[in-house]
Amino acid sequence: MSEGGDDAVRRGRWVFGVTATVVGTLVIAIAIGLVVSFAAVQQRPPDVPYVPTPYEVVREMLKVAQVNANDIVYDLGCGDGRIVITAVKEFKAKRGVGVDIDPQRIRESNENAQKAGVTDRVKFLQQDLFETDISEATVITLYLLPSVNLRLRPKLFRECRPATRVVSHDFDMCEECEGEGSPTCVKGWHPDKVLRVRGPYREHTVYFWVIPAGVAGTWRWSVPTARGERQYVLRLRQRFQKISGTVTTDGEETPISDAQLNGNQIRFTVVRDIRGQKVTMRFSGRVNGDTIRGSVDIQGGPFAGKRDWVAKRDPANLSGTWRWQGGALRIERRNGQWTATFLQGNRSHPVGDFYVWGAGIYFNLSDGTEVTAEGVVDGDRLTGTWNGKSWTAIRTKE
């Protein structure tokens, strides 16, 4: 063979060797990528053991949530998919989404959806439920554990719209009382309804909540009278769906009573003595951001009757570092969501259990000592309670 021929052979072997090396490297990289991809999905063991919800309980959960053709139902920890499949097949929900970190559960769910003939209206995601975007859900169902529910609670309030319904099988959203509420419990999100359902082997409990609108802050409106416009100021505080406050007019402050907040629907009553007459005003309206539109039914006095009612909330800026003797709280808006950090000396501690309701905040903190605090922002002052005692923080300029 000639020298030129030898060179050609050597070049061919070199090219072949490089190509083989590249292909081999790509195969290894793809294999590693698949392993890493799988590991990224199956990041950790499931938060709860798999125990299916009996169908008797499934149907009662969907009934209490009043699931209908307009609903998008998310089941967090979906198991074999029975809740979302039942939601779309029997309750005619628009769509259903099941989320589970266990690939075996997702396979079962997809198989069951195919058998039920609902694959066009359900999907199942092999994901960590804490990482799943749940903002489109109108109904969320759960069968987790109390500790998991409590970790999930801030996410529900951050991502879900007011009036989203939440249903939990057997486990509540309170770390302090038995879950159904007590006069002394201040930490819990107490259910709006509790049902007992008889299953094949035992009695089950179903807890039902409605995500409330954020109404804390100062609201104003006026009412025309023969003597001109009468100005009203409503100051509301909020703790989950529980609200309290006062109405001030003509320099007189009156506590509200019978206050209810159900999703974005608000009701309260004000009873005053006007010129020697008892006047009862029953307000009801729909909350939309910083506006409430509704009506007021007035009984007694010269303005008795029913009339329209529109209230506007004063603007409030929560961002900044709020300081008081003994610590500080930094509140920031990140990726469209509120976050908080507790500062004390050189230490900082993210506040996971943190909520924003309009111009109000509420948080629980475990950092050596247990803290439950809430307050309402008015200008550069944050006024509320810290473990039940009066608390005031001032926004500092940085």
What span, in angstroms and rounded, lies between the C-alpha atoms of 210 and 241? 8
State the DSSP code for 163.
T
**Superfamily per CATH, domain 217-313:** Quinohemoprotein amine dehydrogenase alpha subunit, domain 2 (2.40.128.120)
Residue type, 99: V
Q: Which residues contact 131 (CB under 8 A, 6 or more apart)?
A: none
Query: Measured between alpha carbons, how far is 322 from 165 in angstroms, rounded to an integer?
Result: 33
Candidate from 156-165, 347-356, 360-369 with smallest mean pLDDT: 360-369
| Tens digits of residue pLDDT in 20-31 | 343 344 334 334
How many residues are listed for the chain in this entry?
Answer: 398
> Stretch 320-334: mean pLDDT, rounded?
95
Query: What is the band of 64 on the pLDDT scale with cuts at 50, 70, 90?
Result: very high
Residue 385 structure tokens: 């309670």
pLDDT in the model for residue 182: 64
Indicate the pLDDT class of residue 343, thresholds 50, 70 and 90.
very high
Distance between CA atoms of residues 144 and 312, nearest Å: 39
Average the pLDDT over 198-223 and give the result.
96
Q: Is the pLDDT at 254 greater than 80, yes or no?
A: yes
Exposed / middle / buried, residue 48 (Cβ in 10 Å: 0-12, 13-18, 19+): middle
Specify burial of residue 186 (Cβ count, 10 A radius: 0-12, 13-18, 19+). middle
Give me the percent of the chain exceeding a pLDDT of 90: 75
Percent of the chain with pLDDT over 70: 86
Integer angstrom CA distances of residue 289 from 213, 219, 365: 8, 12, 28
User: What are the counts of helices (DSSP H) followed by strands (DSSP E) for the chain?
Assistant: 5, 25
Chain segment 182-191, per-residue pLDDT in tens: 666 767 899 9
Cα–Cα distance between 14 and 23 in angstroms, integer? Answer: 14
Whether residue 331 contacts residue 377, with contact meaning beta carbons closer than 8 Å, is answered with no
pLDDT for the residue 183:
61
Judge contact between 353 and 341, C-beta under 8 A: no
Q: Return the structure tokens found at 264.
A: 């974005």
- The reported pLDDT for the residue numbered 90 is 98
- Determine the angle formed by the axes of helices 103-116 and 82-89, rounding to 10 degrees: 20
Mean pLDDT over all residues of the chain?
88
Fold of 55-208: Rossmann fold (3.40.50)
d(CA 186, CA 196): 25
Q: Three-state SS for 220? A: strand
pLDDT single digits (tens) 214-253: 999 999 999 887 777 889 999 999 999 999 999 999 899 9
SS (H, E, C) 320-348: EEEEECCEEEEEEEECCEEEEEEEECCEE
Q: Sign of dihedral through CA atoms 225, 228, 230, 231?
A: positive
**Rounded Cα–Cα distance for residues 59 and 143 (Å):** 14
pLDDT band at 266 (very low <50, low <70, confident <90, very high): very high
Question: Does the pLDDT of residue 398 top 60, yes or no?
Answer: yes
Any idea what the Cα angle at residue 70 is, between residues 137 and 106, rounded to 5°? 45
Domain ranges of the chain: 1-39, 55-208, 217-313, 320-396
The span from the CA of 316 to the CA of 335, in Å, is 19
